[in-house]
Amino acid sequence: MSCRISELVLNCADPELLARFWSEVLGYVELDREEGGIEIGPPGAGFVGLQPTIFLSPSTNPRVGRLPLHIDVNPVDRDQDAELERLLALGARPADVGQTGDEQWHVLQDPEGNEFCLLRKRLDR
Distance, in Å, from the CA atom of 103 to the CA atom of 72, rounded to the nearest integer, reads: 14
CATH superfamily of 70-125: 2,3-Dihydroxybiphenyl 1,2-Dioxygenase, domain 1 (3.10.180.10)
Segment 15-65, tens digit of pLDDT:
999 999 999 999 999 999 998 899 999 987 765 667 888 999 998 887 766
pLDDT at 116 over 60: yes
The CATH number of 6-59, from 3.90.1150.10, 3.30.1300.10, 3.20.20.220, 3.10.180.10, is: 3.10.180.10
